[in-house]
Structure 1
Amino acid sequence: MTSDPALARDIDAACRLTGTFTLRSGQAASEYFDKYLFETDPALLARVARQMVPLVPAGADLLGGLELGGVPIVTVLSGLTGTGALYVRKQAKEYGTAKLAEGPPVEGRRVVLVEDVITTGGAVRAATSALRAAGAVVDTVVCAIDRSPAGSTPLADVGVEVRAVLTKADLDAARRAAGAGY
């Protein structure tokens, strides 16, 4: 699938903030990409989910949205595809049903993971391992944005294919096209 330059432009415009920010690494930055700004905008969220529909492989039994950013996306995507949804926690809750994945049982079912942004794939890797331990078949993740370095396959080590609506390069190109250099 080819990227959608208009979607890249609109997401970049909505999510790229300037100011003073402390990154997870502790470093200071003058620019920050706030992915939740597209996930909480109904129009942008719907556009992203519509672009994800053709990325969902045939034979998917369930769509598993990763906590927190994948949950709104998987909810919309599930409605568009008619495929059941799971809400996958970072770790199983310690009370009630003590589930890792809220929704129907996963054993013997093909679960396609849904994530907002992938950079290193750490959250997807952990969810894949946990879902496979519960008997699920996990071989694909569909994400809104793949921010991993160009040409890399961040989840090859666990046998998961990444299918992205947009890449970091798409967002960078949108930014350059808008005339706002770095």
Structure 2
Amino acid sequence: MTSEVTALAERVLAIGTMNGPYVLPTGRILDFYFDEYRVAADPALLAETGQALARLLPPRIDVIAGLELGGVPFALAVSAATGLPAALVRKVAKPYGARLQVEGRPPPGARVAMVDDVIRSGRQITVAATALRQAGTDPVTALAVLIRPGNAKALLNGQGIAVAGVVDDDSAVPLRPRQR
């Protein structure tokens, strides 16, 4: 990790780390958590984070797909940094309107980079990848602002999806409680 990336990771965590309690969808309670909206709400930090995520893109990506809801601002920042078109992936299709799960209509065969705020279990990436495949695209990588420890990388790699993040909790700059 370069000193520039380390400095960005430290700023992202300093702004986004909140002391708990925080209840996960599984019911587990955390003493501290990462609030991506605090990072996304800072225009300069959002732009820098988008540029850092853009540097993690593999070659030949056609579309940047933001996952509902936390991944959307970061995907749009990557899209702005690269000039690549964006798509937005809902957890489930809306039951009204156009009833789409994938908004933005990526072209068939497009190689897609999925962007989320936090990758913990890999479950949301798997749901999004399924929707993108059903839309005729090829989801090849998942990027996140923060990757938490766990088996997400192995799960996603097993599905042919590479994983990278600005902050990897296994890295030199792990998520830790905010000092009061």
Tell me the percent identity. 37
Distance in 1 separating the partners of 2:81 and 2:111: 18
| Structure whose CA Rg is larger | 1
Q: Any stretches of 5+ residues in structure 2 without a counterpart?
A: none
CA contact (8 A) 1:8 1:171 kept: no
Q: Tell me if 1:34 matches 2:38.
A: no
Instruction: Please say which of residues 67-76 and 31-40 is displaced more in the overlay.
Output: 31-40
- DSSP 3-state at the match of 1:138: strand
Who is 1:102 aligned against? 103
Distance, in Å, in 1 between the alignment partners of 2:29 and 2:127 is: 28
Q: From the superposition, tell whether residues 155 and 173 of structure 1 become closer, same or farther in structure 2 (CA, over 3 Å).
A: closer
What does residue 44 of structure 1 align with? Answer: 45
For residues 93 and 129 of structure 2, what CA distance do their matches in structure 1 show?
14
The secondary structure found in structure 1 opposite 2:32 is strand
C-alpha RMSD over aligned residues: 2.5
> Tell me, which stretches of 5 or more residues in structure 1 are unaligned?
none
Equivalent residue number for residue 144 of structure 1: 145
Matched length: 178
Determine the structure 1 residue equivalent to 2:122. 121
Aligned-partner Cα distance in 1 for 2:152–2:114? 21
Superposed displacement of residue 120, structure 1: 0.9
> Shift of the alpha carbon at 1:91?
0.9
Letter in 2 for 1:47: E
* Equivalent residue letter for 1:133: Q
1:14-33 pair list within 5 angstroms? 14-33=15-34
Q: Which runs of 4+ in 1 moved over 4 A?
A: 171-176
| TM-score of the pair, normalised by structure 1 | 0.85
State TM-score, norm by structure 2: 0.85
Give CA-to-partner distance per residue, 1:24-53, whole Å, 9 cap, x none. Answer: 343444323222211222122111111112
Give 3-state SS (helix, strand or coil) of 2:154's partner. Answer: coil
